[in-house]
Amino acid sequence: MKIKVKQNPESMELINFLNEALSKRAFIILISCCRIKYRGRATSKLGLGDRTIVIKSDGSFLIHQDHNLDPVNWQPPNCKFQAIIEENKVFIRGFRRNPYESLEVEINKTYLASYHVGNDNKTLELAGYEEDMREMVFKDPFLIEKGFRPTSREYAVTNGFIDILGKDKNGDLVIIELKSRRAGINAVKQLKKYFDDFEDHKKFVRGILAAPSITEDAMELLEKYKMEFKELEPPKELNHEKNLTLDFFKK
């Protein structure tokens, strides 16, 4: 993980910092005195105050005050960003086109600016579902395809642990990444990293992302990498739940 921090940056220093972070699709956190304007389905303004500004690598844009759980203003993933200087003030604009919305932050002073490029491609696993999906595939490999033979689970490579490693009916190596929820771009990127660990492999290697569903942009990226998607629902009943008896609930 690469982390960069600036304390009390001047306007030009902050602009350079932001543009560098945005170009890297980094996770950005600013603690700043700022004004906020929103235009879209409605309009809103928020006067000068100290706030925490968060820009995530997926294009999410959030502004938090020092109270309440939810952000006071936010934009969902896939925002486009612009950071500029006007009259020695830094402006950050996040916008999307469908539907059109824009969130503008006018920064009066920044106390702390930081960004990091991390590696977190996991989705929240509910009640061990991905582990149960592995068990399900090992018990019934045909859920992936006819002739598939799983050989290893949690197979260690340079970039992490492959959920399932196996071979297809032709003897070609198959890398499977499991997701118990709808798979997004991060899941595809993780599968590609595993795939790249086998670049020197003499035989043909296939990459399969198995999940209940997949986002449109993730599917496009998967096809670009010439990898495959397999629709696979997690088991409705967890393995450990099958072993619970009535006596357990009486305890």
Beta carbons of 238 and 130 less than 8 angstroms apart? no
Q: Max CA-CA distance within the chain?
A: 72
* Cα 41 → chain centroid: 26
pLDDT in tens, the chain (251 residues): 689 999 999 999 999 999 999 999 999 999 999 999 999 878 999 999 999 999 999 999 999 999 989 999 999 999 999 999 998 899 999 999 888 899 999 999 999 999 999 877 776 655 557 888 999 999 999 999 999 999 999 998 888 899 999 999 999 999 999 998 899 999 999 999 999 888 877 678 999 999 999 999 999 999 999 999 999 998 876 444 444 343 433 44
Contacts of residue 78, Cβ cutoff 8 Å, sequence gap at least 6 = 58, 59, 96, 217
Catalogue the long-range contacts made by 190-198 (C-beta closer than 8 Å, 24 or more residues apart).
Answer: 190/121, 190/159, 190/160, 191/222, 191/225, 191/227, 192/225, 192/227, 193/159, 193/160, 194/157, 194/159, 194/160, 194/162, 195/225, 195/227, 196/159, 197/157, 197/158, 197/159, 198/173
Distances from the Cα of 206 to the Cαs of 25, 61, 153, 176, in angstroms? Answer: 28, 36, 16, 9
For the chain, domains (ranges, CATH) are 2-117 (2.70.180.20), 129-231 (3.40.1350.10)
